[in-house]
Structure 1
Amino acid sequence: MNTEHGTATLAGGEESLLGGRWLRIRGADRQTYAALRDEYGVDVEHASAASFSAENGFSYVPVSYVATAGSSFSMTRVMIAVSADLVVTIEPGGSAEALDLALARMARDGREDDSAVDIVGSILQAIADTTDELVSAMSLGTERMMMETSAILQSLEAKKSREFGVSDVTYTQQELADMESLLSHCMESQLALAEAARHLRAKLWGLGVEARGDLARLIDDIEAIEPHIDFVHDRVRLLQQTNNLALNVKQNQIIKVFSVVTAVFLPVMLLSTYYSMNFENMPILAWQYAEPMIIVLSFIFALAPLVYVRQRGWLR
């Protein structure tokens, strides 16, 4: 027993925390489910089929949040069963960082005597703050991408487009698509989290005015993160549109180069085609200055379209 944090390690991945008011279970199996049902009356397997349910004095609140590991992310699902004096949390085999954060905060603030409802509130708050930190990190990532996109557009304007390749935009677009998917999961998590908090406020019995007020503030905190997610999502969509614009400009430049080259050599091809015809009497073939004249005409005819294109500003 750790008397400072009020924790005790039980069999397997089970921990009794905060004086036995929080039973934390990692990687539960059918044997664990059966033990919970027999000892505490917690029927997690039956409750997992519904979003929210109440049975045998327990309210069951499943919540999910986005967990990151390096550059990858996954949805972590935590089942919370709460009664008047006990909280049971069941999480994946690996430790859920949000629950670690909630426990560390309660230990730091000396809240080992919190009620079961307060413990659940701390867990939901930690999950919301974890999502908020992730969204803030993505916001910083979009600022970096905005600077990169601005540099790409400036290179196009400064006629240094060779420094910018299609593969650069493709990589950025893939990164933005992953970020957009992650933001969608974050928004889904926040909506479910707010719904869970409302369920607790509406369904749990024996709540005093102070506990109801805490849950109301928790709901406000959770919903306050949603505009932040919307803002970062709008920025991601703007970056996607800007990168598509840069890609279109780059492709247009490539097509423009080939068009100008074709226009330059088209008159020369016309002359060469004409004078390669097999006629008996071809004009100027017998003239001693025919070859240099054809060379000069070819140069003039090739230069004329280039001058015209430049005057029209199509090379900019």
Structure 2
Amino acid sequence: MGKEPISGDFPEDIIWIDLITPTLEEEHLVEARIGIPLPTPEELKDIEPSSRLYVEHDAIYMTASLLYRTESTYPLLSDVAFILSRGRLITIRYAEPKSFALFSASLLRMNGQCDTGAKLLGHLLETIIDRTAEILETLAARLDALSITIFVNRKAAKRRPPRFLEDKLLDIASHHQLVSKLRDSLVSLSRLVVFLQSQPIVRREEEAAELCSIVARDIQSLGEHAAFVGTNITFMLDASLGLINVEQNAIIKIFSIASVVFLPPTLVASIYGMNFDFMPELAWNLGYPLALFAMLLSAIIPFLFFRWKGWL
């Protein structure tokens, strides 16, 4: 029914009622028309399996968590209710996952394939899984691009702006949040499909049962792929932290070597800064140039030694 206010009667042969952020008045009106109670927003958020998947008043109540705002920095999960009652599908949602818009657009191309609520739900779940697969593929592509950006050659790394890797940690955290919510969504969908397959109304309809089997296999495959992507994100996070430590150690090494290189000249300068009465070099005409040469030579020798050792 979209976002339009609900009023009056609706046809008895309608097989899908889609409630988007319904008001209390609209919920009562639909309850009166279909003859079963609808879950409240608080009930949708309940994580107990007995509260998300149950049969009551000859109606099948199911709740799953779906992703939305996946293109934004902060993707979110929204609990969506799926109710099968008397050959009709009722969905209640307080967000607008893209999968619903895609499914609504594809209904005209199905040519009457969704003539029952169970078949309609099967095709809707199939679209939701297809959308989830698309999100996962997009995420994998972004991770590949991010990996190329982080793991570059040393010449390119030297041209990086300050705090480059620290900024990339925020991107990795954003990707991790998305894949984590995606896996939560797949778990809830898996439980829903398993519960749905056990219902007589689905077992009696061959097409609906086949759709549920396909969706169950797809969920399993996507779960494995999501776990693989999550492992890659963990590796990228550990590797990025390792590179940050390497860069910080390189900076500390430079300061350490600089202090060692300038230590011998400091020693020479401190010797000739002593106030002794008998220091023959102070009376030499070349005493000052020789002192400078000694300080320069004492700095060059450690530097060349470090280069020979490969510490620079």
TM-based fold match above 0.5: yes
1:130 aligns with 2:126: no
Which residue is 1:3 aligned to? none
Is the CA contact 1:161–1:250 (under 8 Å) kept in the aligned structure 2?
A: no
The match for 2:231 among 230, 234, 252 is: 234
d(CA) in 1 for partners of 2:7, 2:185: 25
Aligned to 1:186: 182
- Aligned residues with identical type, % of pairs: 20
- Counterpart in the other structure of 1:83: 85
SS in 1 for 2:198: helix
Shift of 1:249: 2.3
- TM-score w.r.t. the length of structure 2 is 0.87
* Other-structure match for 1:29: 23
Partner of 1:224: 221
Alignment: residue pair count: 303
Q: State how far apart, in whole Å, the 1-side matches of 2:296 and 2:10 are.
A: 90
Question: Paired residue for 1:11?
Answer: 5
Per mean C-alpha deviation after superposition, the further-off stretch among 253-262 and 109-118 is: 109-118
Q: CA offset at residue 28 of structure 1?
A: 1.3
**Cα distance in structure 1, aligned partners of 2:10 and 2:226:** 35
Name the structure 1 match of 2:289.
292
Could you tell me whether the CA contact under 8 Å between 2:65 and 2:79 is conserved in 1? yes
Q: Indicate how the Cα distance of structure 1 residues 206 and 242 shifts in structure 2: closer, same or farther if over 3 A, else same.
A: closer
User: Could you give the per-residue CA deviations for residues 83-103 of structure 1, whole angstroms, max 9, x where no partner exists?
Assistant: 2311111112x5332112222
Aligned to 2:191: 195
Letter in 1 for 2:135: L
| Pairwise CA distance, 1:43 | 2.8
Alpha-carbon distance in 1 for matches of 2:91, 2:100: 9
Distance in 2 (alpha carbons) for counterparts of 1:219 and 1:14: 38
Is the 2:67–2:97 Cα contact (8 Å) retained in structure 1? no
Distance 1:245 1:122 in 2: 46
Give the Cα–Cα distance (whole angstroms) in 2 for the partners of residues 13 and 123 of structure 1: 26
When normalised by structure 1's length, the TM-score is 0.86
Query: Judging changes above 3 Å, is the alpha-carbon distance between structure 1 residues 29 and 186 closer, same or farther for their aligned structure 2 residues?
Result: same
Structure 1 distance, partners of 2:261, 2:27, is 79
Against the structure 1 CA distance between its residues 259 and 133, is the aligned structure 2 distance closer, same or farther, given a 3 Å change threshold?
Answer: same
